[in-house]
A and B are shown apart, each in its own frame.
Chain A
Amino acid sequence: GAGVSQSPSNKVTEKGKDVELRCDPISGHTALYWYRQSLGQGLEFLIYFQGNSAPDKSGLPSDRFSAERTGGSVSTLTIQRTQQEDSAVYLCASSLAPTGGSGNTIYFGEGSWLTVV
Protein backbone atom coordinates (compact mmCIF):
# COMPACT_ATOMS: atom_id res chain seq x y z
CA GLY A 1 0.00 0.00 0.00
CA ALA A 2 0.92 3.67 -0.12
CA GLY A 3 1.72 3.89 3.57
CA VAL A 4 1.84 1.87 6.76
CA SER A 5 -1.70 0.95 7.71
CA GLN A 6 -2.77 0.10 11.25
CA SER A 7 -6.03 -1.11 12.71
CA PRO A 8 -7.96 -0.47 14.78
CA SER A 9 -7.19 3.23 15.01
CA ASN A 10 -8.84 3.34 18.44
CA LYS A 11 -9.61 0.56 20.89
CA VAL A 12 -11.19 0.73 24.33
CA THR A 13 -11.03 -2.53 26.24
CA GLU A 14 -11.74 -3.77 29.73
CA LYS A 15 -8.92 -4.71 32.02
CA GLY A 16 -8.13 -8.40 31.68
CA LYS A 17 -9.28 -8.73 28.08
CA ASP A 18 -6.97 -9.65 25.20
CA VAL A 19 -6.43 -7.28 22.27
CA GLU A 20 -4.94 -7.68 18.83
CA LEU A 21 -3.44 -4.82 16.87
CA ARG A 22 -2.75 -5.16 13.18
CA CYS A 23 -0.10 -3.59 10.98
CA ASP A 24 0.10 -3.68 7.19
CA PRO A 25 3.52 -2.35 6.11
CA ILE A 26 4.43 -0.53 2.93
CA SER A 27 4.52 -2.98 0.05
CA GLY A 28 7.98 -4.47 -0.42
CA HIS A 29 9.28 -3.46 2.99
CA THR A 30 10.99 -6.40 4.65
CA ALA A 31 11.61 -4.80 8.04
CA LEU A 32 8.72 -4.08 10.41
CA TYR A 33 8.83 -2.43 13.83
CA TRP A 34 6.50 -1.99 16.78
CA TYR A 35 6.83 0.93 19.18
CA ARG A 36 4.72 2.13 22.09
CA GLN A 37 4.22 5.73 23.16
CA SER A 38 2.54 6.60 26.41
CA LEU A 39 1.04 10.06 26.87
CA GLY A 40 3.77 12.70 26.92
CA GLN A 41 6.53 10.12 26.64
CA GLY A 42 9.05 9.11 24.01
CA LEU A 43 8.75 6.14 21.70
CA GLU A 44 9.57 2.82 23.36
CA PHE A 45 10.89 0.04 21.13
CA LEU A 46 9.02 -3.25 21.42
CA ILE A 47 10.08 -5.62 18.65
CA TYR A 48 11.27 -5.71 15.07
CA PHE A 49 10.91 -8.23 12.27
CA GLN A 50 13.11 -8.96 9.32
CA GLY A 51 10.87 -11.00 7.07
CA ASN A 52 8.94 -13.35 9.34
CA SER A 53 11.60 -13.68 12.01
CA ALA A 54 12.16 -11.34 14.97
CA PRO A 55 15.88 -10.75 15.52
CA ASP A 56 15.17 -8.35 18.37
CA LYS A 57 12.24 -8.67 20.75
CA SER A 58 14.09 -7.16 23.66
CA GLY A 59 11.56 -4.37 24.17
CA LEU A 60 8.50 -6.51 24.87
CA PRO A 61 7.61 -5.47 28.44
CA SER A 62 6.27 -8.81 29.65
CA ASP A 63 5.17 -12.25 28.48
CA ARG A 64 1.66 -10.82 28.05
CA PHE A 65 2.96 -9.20 24.86
CA SER A 66 3.63 -11.16 21.70
CA ALA A 67 3.87 -10.43 18.02
CA GLU A 68 3.95 -12.40 14.84
CA ARG A 69 4.39 -11.73 11.18
CA THR A 70 3.26 -14.00 8.41
CA GLY A 71 4.05 -14.00 4.72
CA GLY A 72 6.64 -11.28 5.27
CA SER A 73 3.87 -8.71 5.33
CA VAL A 74 1.11 -8.20 7.90
CA SER A 75 2.01 -8.27 11.58
CA THR A 76 -0.17 -8.67 14.66
CA LEU A 77 0.73 -7.46 18.13
CA THR A 78 -1.23 -9.28 20.84
CA ILE A 79 -1.61 -8.10 24.42
CA GLN A 80 -3.10 -10.67 26.77
CA ARG A 81 -4.87 -9.86 30.03
CA THR A 82 -4.56 -6.12 29.43
CA GLN A 83 -3.69 -3.82 32.31
CA GLN A 84 -4.32 -0.10 32.67
CA GLU A 85 -0.62 0.63 32.24
CA ASP A 86 -0.88 -0.84 28.74
CA SER A 87 -2.86 2.23 27.67
CA ALA A 88 -0.78 3.95 25.00
CA VAL A 89 -0.55 4.46 21.28
CA TYR A 90 1.03 1.51 19.53
CA LEU A 91 2.96 2.58 16.45
CA CYS A 92 4.02 0.31 13.65
CA ALA A 93 6.73 1.24 11.17
CA SER A 94 8.41 -0.36 8.19
CA SER A 95 11.52 0.02 6.03
CA LEU A 96 13.03 -1.67 3.01
CA ALA A 97 15.64 -3.30 5.23
CA PRO A 98 16.83 -2.84 8.83
CA THR A 99 20.26 -1.50 7.93
CA GLY A 100 21.79 0.48 5.14
CA GLY A 101 21.60 3.92 3.65
CA SER A 102 18.99 6.61 3.48
CA GLY A 103 16.85 4.43 1.25
CA ASN A 104 16.04 2.40 4.32
CA THR A 105 14.13 5.17 6.03
CA ILE A 106 11.66 3.95 8.61
CA TYR A 107 8.09 5.12 7.97
CA PHE A 108 5.45 5.14 10.68
CA GLY A 109 1.77 4.38 10.59
CA GLU A 110 -0.85 6.52 12.34
CA GLY A 111 -0.93 4.22 15.34
CA SER A 112 -3.51 2.28 17.31
CA TRP A 113 -4.71 4.17 20.38
CA LEU A 114 -5.40 1.67 23.14
CA THR A 115 -7.29 2.58 26.29
CA VAL A 116 -7.69 -0.02 29.04
CA VAL A 117 -10.50 0.78 31.48
Chain B
Amino acid sequence: GQNIDQPTEMTATEGAIVQINCTYQTSGFNGLFWYQQHAGEAPTFLSYNVLDGLEEKGRFSSFLSRSKGYSYLLLKELQMKDSASYLCAPRNTGKLIFGQGTTLQVKP
Protein backbone atom coordinates (compact mmCIF):
# COMPACT_ATOMS: atom_id res chain seq x y z
CA GLY B 1 0.00 0.00 0.00
CA GLN B 2 0.88 3.66 0.03
CA ASN B 3 1.06 5.81 3.12
CA ILE B 4 2.43 9.29 3.84
CA ASP B 5 2.71 10.56 7.40
CA GLN B 6 3.30 14.21 8.33
CA PRO B 7 2.41 16.23 11.42
CA THR B 8 -0.96 17.88 10.94
CA GLU B 9 -0.04 21.27 12.36
CA MET B 10 3.07 23.15 13.45
CA THR B 11 3.67 26.60 14.86
CA ALA B 12 6.91 28.57 14.71
CA THR B 13 8.15 32.10 15.30
CA GLU B 14 9.16 34.58 12.64
CA GLY B 15 12.91 34.40 12.03
CA ALA B 16 13.23 30.90 13.45
CA ILE B 17 13.98 27.55 11.78
CA VAL B 18 11.40 24.78 11.43
CA GLN B 19 11.73 21.18 10.25
CA ILE B 20 8.75 19.34 8.82
CA ASN B 21 9.15 15.58 8.80
CA CYS B 22 7.60 13.10 6.41
CA THR B 23 7.65 9.32 6.42
CA TYR B 24 6.32 7.37 3.49
CA GLN B 25 5.69 3.90 2.19
CA THR B 26 5.20 3.48 -1.51
CA SER B 27 6.02 1.04 -4.25
CA GLY B 28 7.80 2.11 -7.40
CA PHE B 29 9.49 5.05 -5.67
CA ASN B 30 10.92 7.57 -8.11
CA GLY B 31 11.78 10.67 -6.12
CA LEU B 32 10.06 12.87 -3.55
CA PHE B 33 8.65 16.36 -3.97
CA TRP B 34 7.74 19.08 -1.49
CA TYR B 35 5.05 21.59 -2.35
CA GLN B 36 3.75 24.70 -0.61
CA GLN B 37 0.04 25.45 -0.72
CA HIS B 38 -1.55 28.64 0.55
CA ALA B 39 -5.22 28.47 1.43
CA GLY B 40 -7.38 28.59 -1.68
CA GLU B 41 -4.43 28.37 -4.04
CA ALA B 42 -2.75 25.67 -6.09
CA PRO B 43 0.35 23.87 -4.80
CA THR B 44 3.66 25.40 -5.85
CA PHE B 45 6.86 23.41 -6.25
CA LEU B 46 9.53 23.80 -3.56
CA SER B 47 12.04 20.98 -3.91
CA TYR B 48 12.80 17.55 -5.31
CA ASN B 49 15.00 14.72 -4.01
CA VAL B 50 15.72 11.51 -5.85
CA LEU B 51 19.02 10.53 -4.21
CA ASP B 52 19.82 10.39 -0.50
CA GLY B 53 21.07 13.57 1.04
CA LEU B 54 20.34 17.24 1.39
CA GLU B 55 19.21 19.60 -1.37
CA GLU B 56 19.51 23.29 -0.52
CA LYS B 57 17.58 26.03 -2.25
CA GLY B 58 17.78 29.43 -0.59
CA ARG B 59 15.83 29.42 2.67
CA PHE B 60 14.48 25.95 1.95
CA SER B 61 16.32 22.63 2.19
CA SER B 62 15.03 19.10 1.78
CA PHE B 63 16.55 15.83 2.91
CA LEU B 64 15.86 12.28 1.78
CA SER B 65 16.73 8.84 3.14
CA ARG B 66 15.32 6.21 0.80
CA SER B 67 16.27 3.28 3.04
CA LYS B 68 14.31 4.80 5.93
CA GLY B 69 11.42 6.11 3.85
CA TYR B 70 12.03 9.51 5.42
CA SER B 71 12.28 13.08 4.27
CA TYR B 72 12.23 16.48 5.88
CA LEU B 73 11.77 20.05 4.73
CA LEU B 74 13.81 22.68 6.55
CA LEU B 75 12.69 26.30 6.44
CA LYS B 76 15.13 28.94 7.69
CA GLU B 77 14.61 32.60 8.60
CA LEU B 78 10.87 32.11 8.72
CA GLN B 79 8.68 34.87 7.35
CA MET B 80 5.00 35.50 7.94
CA LYS B 81 4.30 34.61 4.29
CA ASP B 82 5.60 31.09 4.98
CA SER B 83 2.33 30.35 6.78
CA ALA B 84 0.86 27.69 4.52
CA SER B 85 0.42 23.96 4.11
CA TYR B 86 3.48 21.92 3.16
CA LEU B 87 2.88 18.78 1.17
CA CYS B 88 5.23 15.82 1.03
CA ALA B 89 4.67 13.83 -2.16
CA PRO B 90 6.62 10.73 -3.15
CA ARG B 91 6.40 9.82 -6.81
CA ASN B 92 5.08 6.35 -7.54
CA THR B 93 5.89 5.25 -11.10
CA GLY B 94 4.72 8.51 -12.60
CA LYS B 95 2.13 10.00 -10.29
CA LEU B 96 2.62 11.94 -7.06
CA ILE B 97 0.97 10.59 -3.94
CA PHE B 98 -0.03 13.23 -1.38
CA GLY B 99 -0.74 12.97 2.31
CA GLN B 100 -2.81 15.45 4.30
CA GLY B 101 0.04 17.95 4.51
CA THR B 102 1.36 20.00 7.42
CA THR B 103 -0.21 23.36 8.18
CA LEU B 104 2.47 25.75 9.41
CA GLN B 105 1.56 28.89 11.27
CA VAL B 106 4.26 31.51 11.64
CA LYS B 107 3.74 33.93 14.52
CA PRO B 108 5.38 37.32 15.04
**Which chain A residues have a beta carbon within 8 Å of chain B's beta carbons?**
31, 33, 35, 41-45, 48, 50, 55-56, 91, 98-99, 101-102, 105-111
Contacts and interface: CB of A to CB of B under 8 A. Distances in A.
Contacts of B99: 42
Q: What is the size category of the interface that chain B forms with chain A?
A: 20 to 34
B42 A33 contact: no
Given A33-B95, A108-B42, 15 more contacts: A42-B87, A42-B99, A45-B95, A45-B96, A45-B97, A56-B93, A91-B42, A99-B91, A101-B31, A101-B50, A102-B31, A105-B33, A105-B45, A108-B44, A111-B42
B87 A99 contact: no
Contacts of B95: 33, 45, 48, 56, 98
30 contacts: A33-B96, A41-B100, A42-B100, A43-B87, A45-B95, A45-B96, A45-B97, A45-B98, A48-B94, A50-B94, A55-B94, A56-B93, A56-B94, A56-B95, A91-B42, A91-B43, A98-B94, A101-B31, A101-B50, A102-B48, A102-B50, A105-B48, A106-B33, A106-B45, A108-B35, A108-B42, A109-B42, A110-B41, A110-B42, A111-B42
